[in-house]
Amino acid sequence: MPDLQFQATVNGRKVARSAKPHQRLLDFLRDDLQLTGNKEGCGAGECGTCSVFVDGVLMKSCLMPVAKAQGAQIETIEALARTGELSVLQKAFYKAGASQCGYCIPGMVMAATAAIRANPFAGREEIKERLGGNICRCTGYQKIFDAVEMARDVQNGKLPASALSEIEAEQGDFIGRNVRRIDAPSKVSGALKYAGDMTMPHMLHVQVLRSPHAHARIVSIDTSAAEKLEGVEGVISSADVPGEDGFGVFVNDQPIMARGKVRYVGEAIAAVAAEDALTAMRAVEKIKVVYEQLPAIFDPDDAMHDGVPVLHDYAPDNVTKHIPIRVGDVEKGFAESDLVLEETYATQAIEHAYLEPEAGLAYVDPDGVVTVVSPSQNITHHRHMLARIIAKPIAKVRFIMSPVGGGFGGKEDMIYQGMLALLAMKTRRPVRLVFTREESIISTAKRHPSRTTLRMGLMRDGRIRALEMKMISDGGAYGLSTEGVMRKAAILAAGPYVIPNVKIDTIGVYTNNTPSGAFRSFGALQTEFATESMLDVAAERLGLDPFEIRRVNAMRDGATTHTKQKLGSVSLMRALDAAEKASAWEKGAPNSRGGNRNDLNRDDVRPPVSLGARFETADKQEAAE
Amino acid sequence: MLTCDEYLTPRTLDEAFAAMATHRGRYRVVAGATDTLPWARQGRAGDVNIPVLIDVSKIPEMNERGANDRRVRLGAAMPFQRFLDDANLGRAMPCMPRCAVWFADDQIRAQATIGGNIINASPAADGTPCLIAHDASVELAVARGGKISRRKVALDKFILGPSKTALEDGELLIAIECDALPGYGGSFEKVGHRRSLVISLVCLAVLVKLDAAGKKFEDVRLAIAGIGPVPQRLTQVEKFLRGTPIDAERLAQAADMPVELVASRTRQDYRRDVVRGFMMRGLINAARRAGADAQALTGELEAAYA
Ligand SMILES: Cc1cc2nc3c(=O)[nH]c(=O)nc-3n(C[C@H](O)[C@H](O)[C@H](O)COP(=O)(O)OP(=O)(O)OC[C@H]3O[C@@H](n4cnc5c(N)ncnc54)[C@H](O)[C@@H]3O)c2cc1C
Ligand code: FES
Ligand code: FES
């Protein structure tokens, strides 16, 4: 297999090296040149974290075989602040607060640089379109667009350069002010190292064998062929766990790797550490697993019937957690109501899609301390669980939290750190695992899908007399955060409203689907989606304005919640006022004004699905000339 | 993940055919590689090893492009971005720049080739409807006994179905030739889940030539994709409009005509609604860009479908 003799100019320096013929430009830059500022968020052209300039043209380096860049001038994010001073755009990103987790930011800065180079006068719409190939999951984009506009104006002399400089800390007064993020320069420059960017001397690469079945008994695992492969330094399965296997946020029902049976597609079964990722991948293909398929269950309602497959012995009814709340007497409340509504609501599984796929590095330090570096959102808890699992005293287990490239709750679970620890212990070498996007989606927690039946009784003036809700949630194959999510869902189900009679049941159920877990809002989304939707239905039925019906029911300062929490202050009324104003809501019942609003042709409102702002700029310029 | 043992970048057609002969049965051609790389990932083809990849994007003949008032010739390895960079091409193919802004994003567009888009033969490929509306044909070449022979096939005959074309083993797509349509107004309507990086659920290419007064359709060319296995030319509608004045009612009738063609595997009702709306919007946009008379194309009509 002849290697390529690759030559190029990278960030102003000549590079001549051999490269593997299948390498992508991104691999070459990150792995061979250690230019890790640009990231691999998806590997499929969808996210833009890998955007680099090739002969002055911005390209997605994950889609470019390295041979295509033969002889080219390549600039990565590291090129922009080569002198040590941030570029105008980087300064503007810093100033505008346009970076949060920062994982998208190097690519975003590159795309912004390309946009302003292509049209130094681009308007906001054109900027949006030109940045269309880059995804950010944290910022909501507005601050990014603000930053690009700011940089454009500084560059064009419309704003003074001082607009980008630091503001003095205002006498220690931070509340209500825009405070700069101190970590932003490291993010806009690409200098910050996420776990997948870190390397250690002598490091091995890990790949994981995952289950193709939703529910199956593991009859046998044969790793002998994998172990024989040259370059393979260690193979592990559940048999290698020295301590008490099992992790979770509330119940420790999940083994580090499948033990005896698999419960969802994508569950880890074995892992390999090898000299390079490709060898580890080839070794994974050589692991032979014999399965005996078991009937699987995919619907949480079905899972609660008698005689269906049971996922975990400790929960014969497949119920992970049931949270009941009772206040007053709902039947009496419904009897007193002028209007009783009943509806069912459903929400789907949602992937967090943080831009940083899971990654981690582990090693055993000279004192025998097993150390795991990963973007874990819960390192202290992980540390305690891991100590028990690998049968070490807590002082011999260390967790280091690497910068989290977005988590949103999805990185709370110790889904892969255990495998890393075991492989570091087995091989006595540093090991690193970097998930692909597909692996991240297939194997990690999702937002709980839910099915909610809701009954609401109201008086003619909009006051809610009674609310009865039952939410069934698909918790998937393992418990993870289900218990907490059910609790929060129940606590917040009736919303910030004064309701005398409340009956709530939230039930998390085991199925053979991908496990559900923490996701920002943590259960509130599912139940409040039902309650808030129902309030809009009620507003329609009662001919009330949707803001008014909420005001009528709003908890005020000093209120006691349905779970007996006393609230010192309640900001709901202010929030409603602000939302009403910001949305330019036309007063009236939701159904009082027909299907359409007629402001779609306003200058600041773009008609749906259009593109081509750059043509309009061009037309305007032509007209001006 | 895509792996290969060799990655070859021939500099001439002869070199390319020689490599294809040497590695017969073990190679795959790539141009921009923007379809090939994502294809070899988990959930699609998975991990794929192709012993030899032959990259044809550096062959000069496949990068040529030229347009005069009558004809356009595009090398197969030309990236879509050229439709935005090259004003001469934009004049000869008035809906292509509009198509190009919708194509992937500013970055992939610089790498994704027009030939790759045709050969990949996705029912939702964005480039193909415009080309079909230009009566495009493809020029194919094959080397036999050391001699390169060429043939031409009309593009709408060349695409046979999803991922299926009439390309034969050992053949390369060299160039695309089509009518130049300067003076036409062009529009390209597309919808997907978002604006960038999105596969068309429906896309429509519209080319319109008006009489000197800007009141009558002299020529109309329409092609649509995403509603069935292959892109199609809407000849019936073209005939129905050709030679008629711009008129709201007639436009509405025309817009209804292709609705019955929707034969996609999913979301048929939605697509029917979209087709009707796109026909109106596409014809109006193209007519406006062709210099339609303000009285013929009332502001009301424009506003309703902008
Ligand atoms: C994120 C993303 C977004 C995308 N967005 C769009 C979009 O909006 N609209 C759209 O239509 N497509 C889109 N695509 C698909 C893709 O970019 C296009 O289809 C592109 O035109 C393919 O061209 P290529 O040269 O990159 O393909 P390649 O992968 O190089 O080739 C594709 C196929 O064509 C064959 N081939 C290429 N050139 C020749 C030749 N000269 N002779 C013979 N065979 C040849 C190859 O063997 C291969 O089978 C997108 C892709 C990605 C990854
Ligand atoms: S676009 Fe290249 S990694 Fe996502
Ligand atoms: S800051 Fe953009 S993805 Fe986190």
Distance CA B73, CA B179 (A): 9
Q: Do A612 and B30 touch (CB under 8 A)?
A: no
Q: What is the dihedral of CA A106, A111, A112, A113, to 10 degrees?
A: 90
Prediction pTM value = 0.95
Q: Print burial letters for B86-109: b (CB count within 10 Å at least 16), e (below 16).
A: beebbbbbbbbbbbbbbbbbbbbb
Phi then psi for residue A74, to 5 deg, are -115, 135
Residues on chain A touching B188 (C-beta within 8 angstroms)? none
Please report the pLDDT score of residue B300 as a whole number.
77
Distance CA B222, CA B184 (A): 12
Q: Is the pLDDT of residue B195 over 90?
A: no
Q: What is the pLDDT of residues A150-179, one digit of tens each?
A: 999 999 999 999 999 876 556 667 777 777
Which chain A residue's Cα is nearest to B40?
A44
The answer to whether A458 touches A341, Cβ cutoff 8 Å, is yes
Which chain A residue's Cα is nearest to B304?
A601
In chain A, ranges of CATH 3.10.20.30 domains: 1-76
Q: What is the CA radius of gyration of chain B?
A: 20
Confidence tier at B156 by pLDDT (50, 70, 90):
very high
Distance CA A261, CA A214 (A): 10
Secondary structure (3-state) at B31: coil
Q: Is the pLDDT of residue A1 over 80?
A: no
Distance CA A276, CA A207 (A): 10
Cα of A137 from ligand 2 centre, angstroms: 14
Q: Is the pLDDT of residue A462 over 90?
A: yes
- Rounded to a whole number of angstroms, the distance from the CA of A22 to the nearest CA of chain B is 5
Q: Which residues, 6+ apart, have CB-to-CB distance to A515 below 8 Å?
A: A254, A264, A413, A445, A446, A475, A476, A477, A478, A479, A480
Place domain B185-305 in its CATH homologous superfamily. CO dehydrogenase flavoprotein, C-terminal domain (3.30.390.50)
Report the percentage of chain A scoring pLDDT > 70. Answer: 95
Mean pLDDT of all residues in A16-26: 97
Please report the pLDDT score of residue B297 as a whole number.
85
Q: Is the pLDDT of residue B226 over 90?
A: yes
Confidence tier at A61 by pLDDT (50, 70, 90):
very high
Please report the pLDDT score of residue A607 as a whole number.
61
Report the percentage of chain B scoring pLDDT > 70. Answer: 100
Instruction: For the domain covering B62-179, report its CATH number.
Output: 3.30.465.10
Nearest residue (by CA) to ligand 1, atom 34, is: B116
Q: What class has domain B2-55? A: alpha beta
Query: Within an 8 Å CB–CB cutoff, is residue A4 touching chain B?
Result: yes
Q: What is the pLDDT of residues A358-405, one digit of tens each?
A: 999 999 999 999 999 999 999 999 999 999 999 999 999 999 999 999
Which bound ligand lies closest to the C-alpha atom of B198? 1
Q: Give the atom of ligand 1 at the shortest distance from the alpha carbon of B31.
A: 30
* Nearest C-alpha neighbor of A491 from the set A483, B48, A440, A246: A483
| Residues framing ligand 1 (Cβ under 6 A) | A 45-46; B 28-36, 38, 56, 76, 103-104, 108, 112-113, 115-117, 119-120, 125-127, 167, 172-173, 197
Q: How many CB pairs under 8 A join A and B?
A: 117
Domain boundaries, chain B: 2-55, 62-179, 185-305
Confidence tier at B299 by pLDDT (50, 70, 90):
confident
Kindly provide the ipTM of the predicted complex, given to two decimals: 0.96
Residues composing chain B: 306
Residues on chain B touching A129 (C-beta within 8 angstroms)? 101, 106, 195-196
Q: Is the pLDDT of residue A601 over 60?
A: no
Distance CA A193, CA A178 (A): 26
Among A62, A133, A612, select the one facing B105 at the smallest CB separation: A133
Which of A59, A60, A443 to mutate to probe the B interface, most B CBs <10 Å?
A60
Confidence tier at A247 by pLDDT (50, 70, 90):
very high
Q: Is the pLDDT of residue A278 over 80?
A: yes
Mean pLDDT of all residues in B272-298: 93
Residues composing chain A: 625
Residues on chain A touching B57 (C-beta within 8 angstroms)? 68
Q: Is the pLDDT of residue A602 over 80?
A: no
Cα of A409 from ligand 3 centre, angstroms: 15
| Alpha helices (runs of H) in A470-592, residue ranges in sequence order | 482-492, 524-542, 546-553, 572-582
Please report the pLDDT score of residue B145 as a whole number.
86
Q: What is the pLDDT of residues B83-105, one digit of tens each?
A: 999 999 999 999 999 999 999 99
Distance CA B104, CA B195 (A): 9
Distance CA A435, CA A42 (A): 10
Name the residue of B26, B30, B41, B74 whose CB sits within 8 Å of the most ligand 1 atoms, as the mutation to test its pocket. B30
Distance CA A561, CA B286 (A): 59
Confidence tier at A618 by pLDDT (50, 70, 90):
low
Q: Do B106 and A62 touch (CB under 8 A)?
A: no
Among B4, B47, B196, select the one facing A281 at the smallest CB separation: B47
Confidence tier at A608 by pLDDT (50, 70, 90):
low
Confidence tier at A227 by pLDDT (50, 70, 90):
very high
Is A364's C-beta closer than 6 angstroms to any atom of ligand 2? Answer: no
Look up residue A8 and give its two tokens. 């190029």
Among A1, A51, A436, select the one facing B5 at the smallest CB separation: A1
Which of B300 and A489 is assigned the larger pLDDT?
A489
Report the CATH architecture of A311-351+446-552: 2-Layer Sandwich (3.30)
Please report the pLDDT score of residue B73 as a whole number.
98
Q: What is the dihedral of CA A399, A400, A404, A410, to 10 degrees?
A: 0
Q: Do B7 and A59 touch (CB under 8 A)?
A: no
Nearest residue (by CA) to ligand 3, atom 4, is: A101
Helix then strand then coil, % of chain B, to nearest 5: 35, 25, 40
Mean pLDDT of all residues in A555-561: 97
Report the percentage of chain B scoring pLDDT > 90. Answer: 92
The answer to whether A134 touches A438, Cβ cutoff 8 Å, is no
Cα of B89 from ligand 1 centre, angstroms: 21
Q: Distances from the Cα of B60 to the Cαs of A184, B7, B10, B16, in angstroms?
A: 45, 18, 10, 12
Q: Which residues, 6+ apart, have CB-to-CB distance to B213 below 8 Å?
A: B293
Q: Distances from the Cα of A462 to the Cαs of A450, A551, A615, in angstroms?
A: 27, 9, 50
Q: Distances from the Cα of B15 to the Cαs of A358, A374, B9, B10, in angstroms?
A: 44, 49, 9, 5
| Residues framing ligand 3 (Cβ under 6 A) | A 99-105, 136-139, 355, 406
Mean pLDDT of all residues in A239-258: 97
**What is the end-to-end Cα distance of chain B in Å, rounded?**
43
Q: Is the pLDDT of residue A617 over 70?
A: no
Mean pLDDT of all residues in B125-135: 97
Cα of B193 from ligand 2 centre, angstroms: 19
Q: What is the CA radius of gyration of chain A?
A: 28
- DSSP assignment letter at A533: H
Average pLDDT, chain A: 95
Please report the pLDDT score of residue A176 as a whole number.
76
- Rounded to a whole number of angstroms, the distance from the CA of B52 to the nearest CA of chain A is 9
Please report the pLDDT score of residue A584 as a whole number.
82
In chain A, ranges of CATH 3.30.365.10 domains: 311-351+446-552
Which bound ligand lies closest to the C-alpha atom of A39? 2
Residues 138-197 of A with CB under 8 A from B: none
**Quick count: other Cβ atoms within 10 Å of Cβ A7?**
14
Domain A1-76 has CATH 3.10.20.30: yes
Q: What is the pLDDT of residues A95-136, one digit of tens each?
A: 999 999 999 999 999 999 999 999 999 999 999 999 999 999
